[in-house]
Amino acid sequence: MFSLINPSKIFGWIEKLINFINSIFFIVLSLALTFALIISPPDYLQGDSVRIMYVHVPSAWIALAAYTCIALLSIMRFIFKLKNLNLISKSIAPIGLLFTCLAIITGSLWGQPTWGTWWVWDARITSMFFLLIFYILFVLSNKLIKEEEKANKVSSVIAIVGLVNIPIIKYSVDWWNTLHQPKSIDILKGTSSIHASMLAPLTLMLLVLLLYCALIFLMKYKTEIIRIKKKNIKRI
């Protein structure tokens, strides 16, 4: 099963996937922007500032999902001793870091007209800030530690320790009084309190950002494969 993630076996598919994503990305992006900026109505309280939601919310989801993947891959690396899992984690990390920054920045831009302040140390914002720190530590550990095996172990430990922060981010609005509203979408129950006119562009923007993530991941993973081939590093 794990042979399927062998870089030498999937390298040929990467370019094909990149080309496929490129062929549909701008079509989906155009559709999403049309819904988000034109068709979707302004909120009756927040006005047009609510449109920031279409970037902020998917960015936060992706940031959490990416870190969860990195942490789980790190756990599996220690269990199964597969070096390629760290290669995948290193390719995901810049994406997660980017979208964590995007979630924090758009949240600040949205918070100013909604809450009257750019920043407040409530539970969710603070835990997102800690997520940013864990991402930075993970990336820096791989960049600054020259010995690859040591860098992989240190970054994996960082990822696993930071995993405890993920449920704190998700359930912070339930556990503490925060400025953030309770969850509007319950995936497990298949329910949503968001009106369909806003849910459609939110879903489309999520799809656009996921396609972008896939594109960046594949390009980064391809670069990492080329790097280890040039260095003639043995992978398992």
pLDDT per residue, tens digit, the chain (236 aa), is: 445 456 656 767 888 899 999 999 999 999 999 999 999 998 877 888 889 999 999 999 999 999 999 999 999 988 888 878 888 999 999 999 999 999 999 999 988 887 888 888 888 899 999 999 999 999 999 999 988 889 999 999 999 999 999 999 988 877 877 777 767 776 656 667 777 888 999 999 999 999 999 999 999 998 888 877 776 655 54
Domain membership of residue 236 (yes or no) is no
Range of the domain at 12: 2-231
DSSP per residue over 157-213, as a string? HHHHHHTTHHHHHHHHHHHS--SSPPPSEETTTTEE-S-HHHHHHHHHHHHHHHHHH
Q: Enumerate helices (H) and strands (E) in the chain, giving the number of each.
A: 7, 2
Confirm whether 193 is domain-assigned.
Answer: yes
Q: pTM for this structure?
A: 0.88
* Domain-located, residue 123: yes
CA 130 distance to own-chain centroid? 15
Q: Is residue 90 part of a domain?
A: yes
Q: How many domains are there within the chain?
A: 1
